[in-house]
Amino acid sequence: MKVLLLENIHPVAVEQLEARGFEVDLRAGSLAEDDLIAALDGVGLLGIRSNTHVTEKVLASANELQAIGCFCIGTNQVDLAAAAAKGVAVFNAPYSNTRSVVELVIAEIVSLARRLPEKTQRMHDGVWDKSARGSHEVRGRTLGIVGYGNIGTQLSNLAESMGMRVVFYDTADRPAHGNARRMRSLDELLAIADVVSLHIDGRPGNAGLFGAQQFAKMKPRSMFINASRGMVVDDVALRDHLLSGHIAGAALDVFPVEPKAQGDPFESVLRGLDNVILTPHVGGSTQEAQEEIGWFVSGKLTGFALEGGTALSVNLPTVAAPPLAAGHRIGFLHHNVPGVLAAVNALLAEEGDNVTGQHLSTRDELGYVVTDAAERLSAGALERLRTSEHCLWVRTWES
Ligand SMILES: NC(=O)c1ccc[n+]([C@@H]2O[C@H](COP(=O)([O-])OP(=O)(O)OC[C@H]3O[C@@H](n4cnc5c(N)ncnc54)[C@H](O)[C@@H]3O)[C@@H](O)[C@H]2O)c1
Protein backbone atom coordinates (compact mmCIF):
# COMPACT_ATOMS: atom_id res chain seq x y z
CA MET A 1 0.00 0.00 0.00
CA LYS A 2 1.20 3.51 -0.87
CA VAL A 3 1.61 6.12 1.87
CA LEU A 4 1.95 9.87 1.28
CA LEU A 5 3.55 11.82 4.16
CA LEU A 6 3.50 15.63 3.91
CA GLU A 7 4.90 18.50 6.03
CA ASN A 8 8.20 17.07 7.26
CA ILE A 9 6.88 14.28 9.41
CA HIS A 10 9.48 12.78 11.76
CA PRO A 11 11.66 10.05 10.12
CA VAL A 12 10.61 7.54 12.79
CA ALA A 13 7.21 7.38 11.03
CA VAL A 14 8.88 6.43 7.74
CA GLU A 15 10.94 3.77 9.51
CA GLN A 16 7.90 2.19 11.12
CA LEU A 17 5.81 2.25 7.92
CA GLU A 18 8.60 0.87 5.71
CA ALA A 19 9.43 -1.83 8.25
CA ARG A 20 5.83 -3.02 7.95
CA GLY A 21 5.97 -3.17 4.16
CA PHE A 22 4.45 0.17 3.09
CA GLU A 23 5.79 2.24 0.19
CA VAL A 24 6.35 5.76 1.55
CA ASP A 25 6.45 9.02 -0.42
CA LEU A 26 7.84 11.63 2.02
CA ARG A 27 7.51 15.33 1.11
CA ALA A 28 8.59 18.45 2.97
CA GLY A 29 5.70 20.87 2.36
CA SER A 30 1.93 20.82 2.39
CA LEU A 31 -0.15 20.66 -0.82
CA ALA A 32 -2.99 22.87 -2.02
CA GLU A 33 -6.33 21.22 -2.78
CA ASP A 34 -5.83 20.37 -6.47
CA ASP A 35 -2.22 19.24 -5.98
CA LEU A 36 -3.33 17.06 -3.09
CA ILE A 37 -6.06 15.48 -5.20
CA ALA A 38 -3.47 14.59 -7.86
CA ALA A 39 -0.95 13.32 -5.30
CA LEU A 40 -3.51 11.04 -3.64
CA ASP A 41 -3.99 8.93 -6.78
CA GLY A 42 -3.39 5.33 -5.65
CA VAL A 43 -2.58 6.35 -2.04
CA GLY A 44 -4.02 4.28 0.84
CA LEU A 45 -2.69 6.24 3.82
CA LEU A 46 -2.08 9.98 4.15
CA GLY A 47 0.00 11.69 6.84
CA ILE A 48 -0.29 15.45 7.39
CA ARG A 49 0.30 18.10 10.04
CA SER A 50 -1.77 21.23 10.51
CA ASN A 51 -1.18 23.02 7.18
CA THR A 52 -2.73 20.50 4.79
CA HIS A 53 -6.49 20.83 4.40
CA VAL A 54 -8.31 17.64 3.55
CA THR A 55 -11.61 18.94 2.23
CA GLU A 56 -14.76 17.15 1.12
CA LYS A 57 -13.60 17.64 -2.50
CA VAL A 58 -10.25 15.98 -1.76
CA LEU A 59 -11.98 13.07 -0.03
CA ALA A 60 -14.50 12.66 -2.84
CA SER A 61 -11.77 11.90 -5.36
CA ALA A 62 -9.43 9.88 -3.10
CA ASN A 63 -10.92 6.51 -3.86
CA GLU A 64 -8.18 4.33 -2.43
CA LEU A 65 -7.67 6.35 0.73
CA GLN A 66 -8.30 4.31 3.89
CA ALA A 67 -6.95 6.51 6.67
CA ILE A 68 -5.49 9.93 7.47
CA GLY A 69 -2.95 10.43 10.22
CA CYS A 70 -2.77 13.96 11.66
CA PHE A 71 0.77 14.08 13.07
CA CYS A 72 -0.29 16.73 15.57
CA ILE A 73 -3.01 17.27 18.18
CA GLY A 74 -5.65 19.20 16.22
CA THR A 75 -7.82 17.61 13.52
CA ASN A 76 -9.91 20.54 12.29
CA GLN A 77 -7.82 20.71 9.08
CA VAL A 78 -9.70 17.55 8.01
CA ASP A 79 -13.39 17.43 7.13
CA LEU A 80 -14.07 14.71 9.71
CA ALA A 81 -17.72 14.21 8.83
CA ALA A 82 -16.97 13.79 5.11
CA ALA A 83 -14.16 11.36 5.97
CA ALA A 84 -16.47 9.33 8.22
CA ALA A 85 -19.20 9.26 5.58
CA LYS A 86 -16.65 7.74 3.21
CA GLY A 87 -15.34 5.31 5.82
CA VAL A 88 -11.90 6.99 6.00
CA ALA A 89 -10.47 6.75 9.52
CA VAL A 90 -8.75 9.82 10.99
CA PHE A 91 -6.18 9.54 13.78
CA ASN A 92 -4.15 12.10 15.75
CA ALA A 93 -1.75 12.13 18.70
CA PRO A 94 -3.70 13.48 21.66
CA TYR A 95 -1.17 12.65 24.39
CA SER A 96 2.26 12.70 22.78
CA ASN A 97 3.27 16.17 23.97
CA THR A 98 1.79 16.12 27.47
CA ARG A 99 5.14 15.84 29.19
CA SER A 100 6.61 18.69 27.11
CA VAL A 101 3.85 21.07 28.25
CA VAL A 102 4.29 20.01 31.88
CA GLU A 103 8.04 20.61 31.82
CA LEU A 104 7.55 24.10 30.36
CA VAL A 105 5.04 24.96 33.09
CA ILE A 106 7.39 23.69 35.83
CA ALA A 107 10.15 25.89 34.39
CA GLU A 108 7.76 28.86 34.36
CA ILE A 109 6.66 28.37 37.96
CA VAL A 110 10.29 28.53 39.15
CA SER A 111 11.17 31.36 36.76
CA LEU A 112 8.28 33.55 37.86
CA ALA A 113 8.88 32.85 41.56
CA ARG A 114 12.51 34.01 41.13
CA ARG A 115 11.51 36.90 38.80
CA LEU A 116 13.93 35.59 36.17
CA PRO A 117 12.37 37.42 33.18
CA GLU A 118 13.24 40.85 34.58
CA LYS A 119 16.55 39.71 36.10
CA THR A 120 17.85 38.37 32.81
CA GLN A 121 16.54 41.45 30.95
CA ARG A 122 18.42 43.77 33.32
CA MET A 123 21.64 41.80 32.84
CA HIS A 124 21.25 42.09 29.05
CA ASP A 125 20.74 45.81 29.60
CA GLY A 126 24.08 45.88 31.46
CA VAL A 127 22.64 46.39 34.97
CA TRP A 128 23.88 44.34 37.96
CA ASP A 129 20.90 44.26 40.35
CA LYS A 130 21.61 41.61 42.99
CA SER A 131 18.65 41.39 45.35
CA ALA A 132 16.34 38.79 46.92
CA ARG A 133 13.39 41.21 46.83
CA GLY A 134 10.28 39.44 45.47
CA SER A 135 12.15 36.14 44.92
CA HIS A 136 10.76 32.96 46.48
CA GLU A 137 11.34 29.23 46.62
CA VAL A 138 8.45 27.20 45.28
CA ARG A 139 8.79 24.58 48.03
CA GLY A 140 5.79 24.78 50.36
CA ARG A 141 3.83 27.12 48.08
CA THR A 142 0.43 26.15 46.72
CA LEU A 143 -0.15 25.39 43.05
CA GLY A 144 -3.78 25.57 41.89
CA ILE A 145 -4.39 23.48 38.77
CA VAL A 146 -7.57 24.27 36.85
CA GLY A 147 -8.37 21.32 34.55
CA TYR A 148 -7.05 18.02 35.96
CA GLY A 149 -6.79 16.00 32.75
CA ASN A 150 -3.73 14.54 31.01
CA ILE A 151 -1.58 17.61 31.51
CA GLY A 152 -3.02 18.78 34.84
CA THR A 153 -2.42 15.43 36.55
CA GLN A 154 1.20 15.10 35.31
CA LEU A 155 1.86 18.65 36.45
CA SER A 156 0.41 17.71 39.82
CA ASN A 157 2.91 14.86 40.21
CA LEU A 158 5.96 16.89 39.18
CA ALA A 159 4.99 19.92 41.29
CA GLU A 160 4.56 17.73 44.37
CA SER A 161 7.97 16.22 43.81
CA MET A 162 9.38 19.77 44.06
CA GLY A 163 7.69 20.17 47.44
CA MET A 164 4.69 22.22 46.30
CA ARG A 165 1.23 21.77 47.77
CA VAL A 166 -1.23 21.01 44.97
CA VAL A 167 -4.94 21.82 44.84
CA PHE A 168 -7.06 21.31 41.75
CA TYR A 169 -10.47 22.08 40.32
CA ASP A 170 -12.10 20.13 37.50
CA THR A 171 -15.71 20.09 36.35
CA ALA A 172 -15.45 16.30 35.88
CA ASP A 173 -14.84 13.74 38.65
CA ARG A 174 -11.07 13.25 38.60
CA PRO A 175 -9.22 11.23 41.23
CA ALA A 176 -6.54 13.15 43.11
CA HIS A 177 -2.93 12.14 42.48
CA GLY A 178 -0.55 11.92 45.42
CA ASN A 179 -1.44 14.42 48.14
CA ALA A 180 -3.28 16.80 45.83
CA ARG A 181 -6.58 18.15 47.17
CA ARG A 182 -9.74 18.62 45.13
CA MET A 183 -11.42 22.03 45.45
CA ARG A 184 -15.22 22.26 45.30
CA SER A 185 -15.19 25.41 43.20
CA LEU A 186 -12.88 27.56 41.14
CA ASP A 187 -13.30 30.36 43.71
CA GLU A 188 -12.10 28.06 46.52
CA LEU A 189 -8.95 27.32 44.50
CA LEU A 190 -8.33 30.98 43.62
CA ALA A 191 -8.52 31.96 47.28
CA ILE A 192 -5.61 29.74 48.36
CA ALA A 193 -3.31 29.21 45.34
CA ASP A 194 0.03 31.04 45.09
CA VAL A 195 0.23 29.97 41.44
CA VAL A 196 -2.82 29.32 39.24
CA SER A 197 -2.19 27.25 36.11
CA LEU A 198 -4.91 26.62 33.51
CA HIS A 199 -5.10 23.22 31.77
CA ILE A 200 -8.69 23.10 30.60
CA ASP A 201 -9.86 22.03 27.15
CA GLY A 202 -11.26 24.21 24.38
CA ARG A 203 -14.99 23.47 24.73
CA PRO A 204 -17.07 26.50 23.70
CA GLY A 205 -18.26 27.20 27.28
CA ASN A 206 -14.66 27.89 28.33
CA ALA A 207 -14.32 31.03 26.18
CA GLY A 208 -13.67 33.99 28.49
CA LEU A 209 -13.65 31.75 31.58
CA PHE A 210 -10.88 33.74 33.22
CA GLY A 211 -11.46 37.52 33.39
CA ALA A 212 -11.36 40.49 35.77
CA GLN A 213 -13.51 38.77 38.43
CA GLN A 214 -11.29 35.70 38.58
CA PHE A 215 -8.04 37.71 38.70
CA ALA A 216 -9.53 39.82 41.51
CA LYS A 217 -10.24 36.62 43.50
CA MET A 218 -6.61 35.41 43.24
CA LYS A 219 -4.33 35.98 46.24
CA PRO A 220 -2.36 39.26 46.24
CA ARG A 221 1.09 38.75 44.63
CA SER A 222 0.11 35.36 43.20
CA MET A 223 1.16 34.16 39.75
CA PHE A 224 -0.80 33.07 36.71
CA ILE A 225 0.01 30.61 33.92
CA ASN A 226 -1.96 29.68 30.80
CA ALA A 227 -0.69 27.00 28.42
CA SER A 228 -4.15 25.69 27.51
CA ARG A 229 -6.20 27.81 25.08
CA GLY A 230 -5.83 31.52 24.34
CA MET A 231 -9.56 32.22 24.23
CA VAL A 232 -10.15 31.27 27.87
CA VAL A 233 -8.31 34.34 29.26
CA ASP A 234 -9.11 38.05 29.04
CA ASP A 235 -5.59 39.42 28.43
CA VAL A 236 -6.65 43.03 29.07
CA ALA A 237 -7.91 42.09 32.55
CA LEU A 238 -4.64 40.22 33.17
CA ARG A 239 -2.64 43.28 32.10
CA ASP A 240 -4.62 45.48 34.53
CA HIS A 241 -3.91 43.12 37.44
CA LEU A 242 -0.22 42.85 36.53
CA LEU A 243 0.13 46.63 36.36
CA SER A 244 -1.65 47.08 39.69
CA GLY A 245 0.76 44.53 41.24
CA HIS A 246 -2.08 42.26 42.40
CA ILE A 247 -0.66 39.55 40.12
CA ALA A 248 3.11 39.25 40.62
CA GLY A 249 3.92 37.48 37.36
CA ALA A 250 2.43 35.56 34.47
CA ALA A 251 3.44 33.09 31.77
CA LEU A 252 1.39 32.77 28.60
CA ASP A 253 1.98 30.25 25.82
CA VAL A 254 -1.37 30.69 24.06
CA PHE A 255 -3.22 33.82 22.92
CA PRO A 256 -6.73 34.75 21.72
CA VAL A 257 -5.27 35.66 18.32
CA GLU A 258 -2.05 33.97 17.22
CA PRO A 259 0.01 34.81 14.12
CA LYS A 260 -0.61 32.37 11.29
CA ALA A 261 2.85 32.03 9.80
CA GLN A 262 6.43 31.80 11.01
CA GLY A 263 7.91 35.30 11.33
CA ASP A 264 4.53 37.12 11.36
CA PRO A 265 4.33 40.02 13.85
CA PHE A 266 2.96 39.23 17.32
CA GLU A 267 0.54 41.71 18.89
CA SER A 268 -0.53 41.50 22.52
CA VAL A 269 -1.42 43.89 25.36
CA LEU A 270 0.94 41.80 27.50
CA ARG A 271 4.08 42.76 25.60
CA GLY A 272 6.66 44.79 27.49
CA LEU A 273 5.44 44.02 31.05
CA ASP A 274 7.75 43.08 33.93
CA ASN A 275 7.89 39.45 35.05
CA VAL A 276 5.79 38.19 32.16
CA ILE A 277 6.95 35.22 30.08
CA LEU A 278 5.51 35.10 26.56
CA THR A 279 6.16 32.03 24.41
CA PRO A 280 4.87 31.33 20.86
CA HIS A 281 2.60 28.31 21.58
CA VAL A 282 5.57 26.00 22.05
CA GLY A 283 4.35 24.15 25.15
CA GLY A 284 4.15 20.90 23.25
CA SER A 285 6.92 21.61 20.75
CA THR A 286 9.98 19.53 21.56
CA GLN A 287 12.03 17.06 19.55
CA GLU A 288 10.88 14.33 21.91
CA ALA A 289 7.21 15.17 21.35
CA GLN A 290 7.70 15.24 17.55
CA GLU A 291 9.34 11.82 17.64
CA GLU A 292 6.61 10.44 19.90
CA ILE A 293 3.92 11.87 17.59
CA GLY A 294 5.67 10.29 14.56
CA TRP A 295 5.80 6.91 16.25
CA PHE A 296 2.30 7.04 17.71
CA VAL A 297 0.39 8.14 14.59
CA SER A 298 2.29 5.87 12.19
CA GLY A 299 1.47 3.03 14.63
CA LYS A 300 -2.22 3.94 14.43
CA LEU A 301 -2.08 3.95 10.60
CA THR A 302 -0.32 0.59 10.37
CA GLY A 303 -2.62 -0.91 13.03
CA PHE A 304 -5.66 0.15 11.01
CA ALA A 305 -4.35 -0.90 7.61
CA LEU A 306 -2.94 -4.26 8.73
CA GLU A 307 -5.34 -5.33 11.49
CA GLY A 308 -8.42 -3.11 11.29
CA GLY A 309 -7.98 -1.43 14.71
CA THR A 310 -9.66 1.97 15.10
CA ALA A 311 -8.83 2.67 18.77
CA LEU A 312 -8.58 6.47 19.33
CA SER A 313 -9.86 7.28 15.85
CA VAL A 314 -11.47 10.73 16.03
CA ASN A 315 -14.26 10.01 13.53
CA LEU A 316 -15.03 6.27 13.22
CA PRO A 317 -16.42 3.91 15.87
CA THR A 318 -13.45 2.79 17.96
CA VAL A 319 -12.55 -0.89 18.16
CA ALA A 320 -9.32 -1.82 19.90
CA ALA A 321 -8.84 -4.98 17.85
CA PRO A 322 -6.43 -7.39 19.57
CA PRO A 323 -3.32 -8.49 17.63
CA LEU A 324 -4.34 -10.78 14.80
CA ALA A 325 -3.47 -14.29 15.98
CA ALA A 326 -3.53 -17.30 13.66
CA GLY A 327 -6.73 -16.96 11.69
CA HIS A 328 -8.83 -14.58 9.64
CA ARG A 329 -10.33 -11.18 10.37
CA ILE A 330 -13.26 -9.41 8.76
CA GLY A 331 -13.83 -5.69 9.32
CA PHE A 332 -17.30 -4.46 8.42
CA LEU A 333 -18.09 -0.72 8.54
CA HIS A 334 -21.80 -0.07 8.19
CA HIS A 335 -24.62 2.35 8.86
CA ASN A 336 -25.71 2.15 12.47
CA VAL A 337 -29.15 0.57 12.14
CA PRO A 338 -30.66 -2.26 14.20
CA GLY A 339 -30.07 -5.83 13.07
CA VAL A 340 -26.77 -5.50 11.19
CA LEU A 341 -24.76 -7.56 13.69
CA ALA A 342 -27.40 -10.30 13.65
CA ALA A 343 -27.28 -10.36 9.83
CA VAL A 344 -23.45 -10.65 9.82
CA ASN A 345 -23.59 -13.52 12.29
CA ALA A 346 -26.40 -15.28 10.40
CA LEU A 347 -24.24 -15.16 7.29
CA LEU A 348 -21.22 -16.57 9.13
CA ALA A 349 -23.41 -19.34 10.58
CA GLU A 350 -24.73 -20.22 7.13
CA GLU A 351 -21.12 -20.51 5.99
CA GLY A 352 -20.41 -22.84 8.91
CA ASP A 353 -17.64 -20.46 10.00
CA ASN A 354 -16.51 -20.60 13.63
CA VAL A 355 -16.25 -17.13 15.18
CA THR A 356 -13.30 -16.91 17.58
CA GLY A 357 -13.76 -13.29 18.62
CA GLN A 358 -16.00 -10.33 17.85
CA HIS A 359 -15.94 -6.62 18.71
CA LEU A 360 -18.63 -4.07 17.88
CA SER A 361 -18.64 -0.34 18.37
CA THR A 362 -20.99 2.39 17.17
CA ARG A 363 -20.60 6.14 16.83
CA ASP A 364 -23.35 8.41 15.59
CA GLU A 365 -24.49 7.05 12.21
CA LEU A 366 -21.79 4.38 11.91
CA GLY A 367 -21.18 0.92 13.32
CA TYR A 368 -18.01 -1.15 13.02
CA VAL A 369 -17.75 -4.84 13.72
CA VAL A 370 -14.50 -6.78 13.72
CA THR A 371 -14.90 -10.55 13.58
CA ASP A 372 -12.11 -13.09 13.97
CA ALA A 373 -12.86 -16.47 12.44
CA ALA A 374 -11.12 -19.80 12.11
CA GLU A 375 -11.74 -20.05 8.37
CA ARG A 376 -11.43 -17.63 5.49
CA LEU A 377 -14.86 -16.31 4.48
CA SER A 378 -15.87 -17.63 1.05
CA ALA A 379 -15.80 -15.22 -1.88
CA GLY A 380 -19.58 -15.55 -2.18
CA ALA A 381 -20.21 -14.64 1.45
CA LEU A 382 -17.85 -11.67 1.21
CA GLU A 383 -19.69 -10.45 -1.83
CA ARG A 384 -23.00 -10.71 0.03
CA LEU A 385 -21.56 -8.56 2.83
CA ARG A 386 -20.14 -6.04 0.37
CA THR A 387 -23.41 -5.63 -1.43
CA SER A 388 -25.58 -5.64 1.71
CA GLU A 389 -27.78 -2.57 2.20
CA HIS A 390 -25.93 -0.88 5.05
CA CYS A 391 -22.31 -1.62 4.12
CA LEU A 392 -19.68 1.14 3.75
CA TRP A 393 -16.80 -1.26 3.35
CA VAL A 394 -15.63 -4.79 4.14
CA ARG A 395 -11.95 -5.61 4.58
CA THR A 396 -10.26 -8.86 5.42
CA TRP A 397 -6.90 -9.65 6.97
CA GLU A 398 -5.15 -12.90 7.74
CA SER A 399 -2.10 -13.78 9.74
N1 LIG B 1 0.51 24.90 24.82
C2 LIG B 1 0.56 23.84 24.06
O3 LIG B 1 1.40 23.73 23.18
C4 LIG B 1 -0.42 22.73 24.30
C5 LIG B 1 -0.05 21.41 23.98
C6 LIG B 1 -0.95 20.39 24.28
C7 LIG B 1 -2.20 20.68 24.82
N8 LIG B 1 -2.54 21.98 25.06
C9 LIG B 1 -3.85 22.33 25.65
O10 LIG B 1 -3.83 21.99 27.03
C11 LIG B 1 -5.18 21.78 27.47
C12 LIG B 1 -5.24 20.54 28.35
O13 LIG B 1 -4.88 19.40 27.58
P14 LIG B 1 -5.13 17.93 28.17
O15 LIG B 1 -4.57 16.96 27.20
O16 LIG B 1 -4.71 17.86 29.59
O17 LIG B 1 -6.74 17.90 28.09
P18 LIG B 1 -7.72 16.90 28.85
O19 LIG B 1 -8.94 16.85 28.02
O20 LIG B 1 -7.04 15.64 29.23
O21 LIG B 1 -8.03 17.70 30.23
C22 LIG B 1 -8.82 18.84 30.28
C23 LIG B 1 -9.51 18.84 31.64
O24 LIG B 1 -10.14 20.11 31.84
C25 LIG B 1 -11.38 19.88 32.49
N26 LIG B 1 -12.22 21.07 32.27
C27 LIG B 1 -12.76 21.49 31.11
N28 LIG B 1 -13.39 22.67 31.31
C29 LIG B 1 -13.23 22.97 32.61
C30 LIG B 1 -13.62 24.08 33.41
N31 LIG B 1 -14.31 25.11 32.89
N32 LIG B 1 -13.26 24.08 34.71
C33 LIG B 1 -12.56 23.06 35.24
N34 LIG B 1 -12.16 21.98 34.54
C35 LIG B 1 -12.48 21.96 33.23
C36 LIG B 1 -11.90 18.61 31.85
O37 LIG B 1 -12.89 17.97 32.63
C38 LIG B 1 -10.61 17.78 31.76
O39 LIG B 1 -10.38 17.00 32.91
C40 LIG B 1 -6.04 21.70 26.21
O41 LIG B 1 -6.72 22.92 26.05
C42 LIG B 1 -5.01 21.53 25.10
O43 LIG B 1 -5.47 22.07 23.88
C44 LIG B 1 -1.67 23.01 24.84
Residues 136 and 335: their CA atoms lie apart, in Å, by 60
Active site residues: 229, 258, 281
Q: What is the DSSP string of 236-248?
A: HHHHHHHHHTSEE
pLDDT tens digits, 307-331: 999 999 999 999 998 888 778 999 9
Quote the mean pLDDT of the chain: 95
Print burial letters for 209-241: b (CB count within 10 Å at least 16), e (below 16): bbeeebbeebbeebbbbbbbbbbbbbbebbbbb
Q: What is the pLDDT of residue 290?
A: 93
Percent of the chain with pLDDT over 90: 83
Atom of ligand 1 at shortest distance to CA of 174? Answer: 39
Position in ligand 1 atom list of the atom nearest CA 254:
1
How much is the pLDDT for 263?
Answer: 86
The pLDDT, as a whole number, for residue 347 is 87
| Helix residue spans in 40-142 (DSSP H) | 56-61, 80-85, 98-113, 116-124
Left, alpha or beta for 251 (phi > 0: left; psi -120 to 50: alpha)? beta
For 185-228, the pLDDT digits (tens) are 999 999 999 999 999 998 889 999 999 999 999 999 999 999 99
Q: Which atom of ligand 1 is nearest to the CA of 253?
A: 1
SS3 category, 363: strand
Residue 241 has pLDDT above 90, yes or no: yes
Starting at the edge strand found earlier in the chain, the sheet holding 391-398 runs 355-363, 366-373, 328-335, 391-398
Best of 102, 196, 199 for a ligand 1 pocket test (most atoms within 8 Å of beta carbon):
199
Per-residue pLDDT of 56-88, as tens digits, reads: 999 999 999 999 999 998 898 999 999 999 999
Give phi and psi for 60, each to the nearest 5: -60, -30
Is the C-alpha dihedral spanning 52, 56, 61, 62 positive or negative?
positive
pLDDT band with cut points at 50, 70 and 90 for residue 361: very high
Please state the rounded mean pLDDT for residues 131-155.
97
| Residue 259 neighbours by CB under 8 Å, 6+ apart | 265, 266, 280
Q: Which pLDDT does position 376 carry in this prediction?
A: 85
Residue 348: what pLDDT?
85
In this structure, which residue's CA is closest to atom 11 in ligand 1? 228
Burial category of 179 from C-beta neighbours within 10 Å (exposed 0-12, middle 13-18, buried 19 and up): exposed
Check if the beta carbon of residue 268 is closer than 8 Å to that of residue 250. no
pLDDT band at 51 (very low <50, low <70, confident <90, very high): confident
Look at 76-85, 108-117, 132-141, 351-360 and tell me which has the smallest mean pLDDT: 351-360
pLDDT tens-digit profile of 253-290? 999 999 877 788 999 999 999 999 999 999 999 999 99
Mean pLDDT of 105-109: 98
Q: Would you tell me how many other CB atoms lie within 10 Å of the CB of residue 105?
A: 27
- Alpha carbon distance 64, 83 (integer Å): 12
156 CA distance to ligand 1 middle (Å): 14
Residues 289, 64: Cα–Cα separation, whole Å:
30
Euclidean distance between CA atoms 147 and 203, whole angstroms: 12
pLDDT score recorded for residue 315: 97
Q: Which residues' Cβ are closer than 6 Å to ligand 1?
A: 73, 97, 101, 146-152, 169-172, 174, 199-203, 206, 209, 227-229, 253-254, 281, 283-284
How many A from CA of 170 to the centre of ligand 1?
A: 10
